Amino acid sequence: MLAVLSRHVLSTSILRRSTTSTRQLSSSAQAYALSKFTMPAMSPTMTEGGIANWKKKEGDSFAVGDVLVEIETDKATMDVEAQDDGIIAKIIIGDGSKAVPVGKAIAIFAEEGDEVNGSEVEKLVSEGEATAEAPKETSAESKSSSKPESVKETSKPAPSSSSTGTPKSFRQSPPRSAIFASPAAKRIALEKGIPLGSIKGTGPKGRILESDLAAYLKAGGAPSASSASTSGTPYEDLPVSNMRRTIANRLGASKRDVPHYYLTSEIQMDRVNRLRALFNKAAEERAASSKAGGLKAPTKLSVNDFVIKASALACADVPEVNSSWQEDFVRQNHHVDISVAVATPTGLITPIVTNVGSRGLGSISAEIKALATKAKDNRLTPQEYQGGTFTVSNLGMFGSVSQFTAIINTPQSCILAVGGAEKKLTIDEDPANLKGFKEVEVMKVTLSCDHRVVDGAVGARWLKAFKGYMENPLSFML
């Protein structure tokens, strides 16, 4: 009867699998149109998701294009739109629910104008719960195979991992009825460090709204160091989002299974800085004329734009780095797609700039800015963050990090960690300089390599190529 279409582009096969309706035949014509709406697969690899927020409530009618629900995946929150008209007869799984398997019924829909039969609705609901119960128990048992009795202790508050040293609090999902908050409220709470558990929501069914946070702060409820001691609790257990759980699982597996090693090099940044200043000055002049003519202003270049371009060219020169370990073989990619680490209120995500080697700096810069904005608004499509052949993580832009090492973003083989630029004195071989030294600006970069794919000599060749491009940026501008 009904199908849904994500605002983000999904393949037809995925859409059909995620929204297949099961009609309950009955002697009643009104009950014939009832159908289950199941948790959709928002990407080919998605196995479970969360329900961030139902945009419609029970009994509401909807039309084509209406947003029905916000689905939280491991990387983003996505809107699901109606492709047909109908009515929400029953919401089975409510706001804030986590780890809902793909294909599990989350609501019952009816057709517009039908008289909804309550008993038929409940029958469909009970059928959906019965079919999902067995997998749920199997999952719980598999997660707690080392400590079977932990499943029975869900009524007890989970202790913090720092105080007990056990993974129990990490593996157990928080109670679904604990905290309901709008996506905007969650984002503000994360940014400002506000404990949502201490706020009483004024929205539907006690949902915490953005206005509730504003009222909390206005009343002097900003978190303080003494808040824990005054409440009598020395810690606070925060729910783990799907994104945070995915980050923990993926990076934990990478650090555990991938033999990392690290190579560090210093890059002289004076030529990049001068060239970037010239480009941005020209961009400002063009921006003034563009504004007067009603045209879009040109994009200013950042140091990271040069880093991403130089990384792609170095990957082309040393293709072993642009490869991945596949157990029985090593896959060497013919194209260079750079994953760029972006910090968001809900966690780290790596949107991808494709075919970087064949693109100009202006195009790279514009796409990175657009992707970063979408990432921070939780609006990236799976196609924009899944894949990539090499990753760049830049913490130097924060001004307080001079050097660091990064964990490889598997199945990629390498990641480049970029620190901040610093001034230092170096020997000047120019005989005209009587002092014999000069001040230069240098930036430290560290390449993390998977030793299964990239040997030390190969990593060193890549860094030499990267250093050559960064210290002679005109070589890829001509």
Q: Where are the domains of the chain?
A: 4-141, 177-233, 259-476
| Confidence (pLDDT) at 121 | 65
| Confidence (pLDDT) at 180 | 67
* pLDDT at 165 exceeding the cut of 90: no
Which fold is adopted by the domain 4-141? OB fold (Dihydrolipoamide Acetyltransferase, E2P) (2.40.50)
Decide if 455 is catalytic: yes
| Confidence (pLDDT) at 239 | 82
Judge whether 4-141 and 177-233 match in fold.
Answer: no
Is 0.85 surpassed by the pTM of this model?
no
Higher pLDDT, 456 or 167: 456
Decide if 95 is catalytic: no
Condensed to tens digits (0 to 9), the pLDDT of residues 358-400 reads 999 999 999 999 999 988 888 888 889 988 999 999 999 888 8
Asked if CATH classification 3.30.559.10 holds for the domain at 259-476, the reply, yes or no, is: yes
- Catalytic annotation, pick one of 85, 237, 428, 451: 451
Region 297-316 average pLDDT: 92
Higher pLDDT, 336 or 5: 336
Which fold is adopted by the domain 177-233? Dihydrolipoamide Transferase (4.10.320)
Region 472-476 average pLDDT: 92
Return the HEC string of the chain: CCCEEECCCCCHHHHHHHHCCCCCCCCCCCHHHCEEEECCCCCCCCCEEEEEEECCCCCCEECCCCEEEEEECCCCEEEEEECCCEEEEEECCCCCCCCEECCCEEEEEECCCCCCCHHHHHHHHHHHHHHHHHHHHHHHHHHCCCCHHHHHHCCCCCCCHHHHCCCHHHHCCCCCCCCCECHHHHHHHHHHCCCHHHCCCCCHHHCECHHHHHHHHHCCCCCCCCHHHHHCCCCCCCCCCHHHHHHHHHHHHHHHHCCEEEEEEEEECHHHHHHHHHHHHHHHHHHHHHHHCCCCCCCCCCHHHHHHHHHHHHHHHCCCCCEEECCCCEEECCCCCEEECEEECCEEECCEECCHHHCCHHHHHHHHHHHHHHHHCCCCCHHHCCCCCEEEEECHHHCCCCCCCCCCCCCECEEEEEEEEEEEEEECCCCCCCCCEEEEEEEEEEEEEECCCCCHHHHHHHHHHHHHHHHCHHHHCC
Lowest model confidence (mean pLDDT) among 83-97, 333-347, 434-448: 83-97
